[in-house]
Amino acid sequence: MLDINQRHLSTTCSTKTASKLSALAAAIIAVTTPALSMAQELSEEKPMYVPPSEPNEFLDGRVQVNFLAMQNYQAIQAKDGAFRPEDETQSDGFGRLRVNLMFKFKITENITADIDIAEEPNDFGNNGDRDFSFHQDFAGIEFDMFGLTGYEKENASLILRAGNIGASPFQFKGFQDGADNQGNALIGNGITDYATAENGIQLSYTETFDGGILRAYNVAGHMTTSSFGEAFQEDRGYNYRIQGTLEFQGGFKAGLNIFQANQGDQLVFENGLASLDGVTTTNYRFGDGENYNFSASASSERDTHVGALPGLNQSIMQLNLAYQPSDQTSVILMLGKASDDYTFADTEGNAVAGITYFGTDGVLDPTGTTFDSNQVIEADSSVDYWVIEAQQYVIPEKLYVAARYAEAENTSDLIEQSDNEVTRLQVSAGYWINDRTLWKVEYVDQEEGTNSGGQIGAGFDGITSEISVKF
């Protein structure tokens, strides 16, 4: 038998041993539990990617990322009578892959910043091969003014944006900017899509309603400089825009846009004629380009628009109406007028229909059809236009057909009011290979009258196709 001391010692040792074993077990559990938990998480089935309806978020939701890529193929030629004969004999072929990398950063609960890094999306070719480089294509900082001030209003927001202000006189329809093309049912944009981005500020107020005929409205206004870059030269003015949108029960929508530029004070006139050399004009005069390429043209993809306005004291008023009862069906009607206090002229001061060709030293070319359009005179120029667009899904959320028809009439005071129209018909089909991949095919036919301000000559036609992905 053990004496009392021996029994006490034995008990003490047993207690110490048990304590050590308990500590060791706890340590083992502490170490293995995260590993077991991780193994369990890895073994669970998870989606391969975030659904397109949800943002790709990183760093606890503070960063959102989207990657876009698009490859095109075109078989398009100018019609007989082109300003540049090379456009009549273009070969079909593949364009350069377009890519965009978009980031959105949540700085605080009420401040966000965004940047789109891209090869300038629409600048195909442009007089042969050229360097392509990534740069800031679009960026800005947005402030939630209600959140910052502590003011609470149900179902309403007031957003101040500083930086690049992207704007256009149209609502409801999609706009294609290089690889960012899945919002546009067709491939080309429009002959009067006066859309661009410039530097400045914008204030936008939106309010939604749970019931009633009126479901939402928005009012937005901006002030920008006239350049996407920087422009501080003497007498450079500002561009102003106000936009209103109403959305009604049943899918009816209406929007009104008013735009005014103030750039004419830069002009220096001699004998009633002024040069545009060194003058900043608003990019709204011909929009942001589109995915048709004429490699022989002076400004590449922008030559497919109506080029009747110098973009100095330019004004635009456009009414937009839409019926969109569902994601499967839409019809959009656009009516507008764009005007300017100046019109293009040759070196003798005679008005010309628009930007038709940049000739040599302002001399009429041997064919007698083109002028140097870098001169302007004081005279009212204007373009009246209307557009109708429709889209219908044949197979819901999978296969759709779409069409757009546009007419633009050059109603400038000093331009002969005959053969003065540009028309464009676009017919397309789109197929969603999956919810991130869209294949589009389009036939386009554009007709340009002699006095229309069309920049190709007599127009163009052909087939173009794109396949795009969006991460």
Query: What is the distance between the terminal CA atoms of the chain, rounded to a whole angstrom?
Result: 79
C-alpha gyration radius of the chain = 30
Superfamily of domain 57-470: Porin (2.40.160.10)
Asked whether the beta carbons of 353 and 448 are under 8 A apart, the reply is: no
| Domain map (residue ranges) of the chain | 1-46, 57-470
Distance CA 242, CA 167 (A): 10
pLDDT per residue, tens digit, the chain (471 aa), is 434 344 343 444 444 444 544 544 444 344 344 443 433 443 344 444 566 667 788 888 899 999 999 999 999 999 998 887 888 998 999 988 888 899 999 999 999 999 998 876 455 444 444 556 667 888 999 999 999 998 888 899 999 999 999 888 998 988 888 788 999 999 999 999 888 888 999 999 999 999 899 999 999 999 998 877 777 888 888 999 999 999 999 999 999 999 999 999 999 999 999 988 888 888 888 777 788 888 765 555 578 889 899 999 999 999 999 999 998 999 999 999 999 999 998 878 889 888 755 445 444 454 544 445 688 999 999 999 999 999 999 999 999 999 999 999 999 999 999 999 999 999 999 999 999 999 999 999 999 999 998 988 899 999 999 999 998
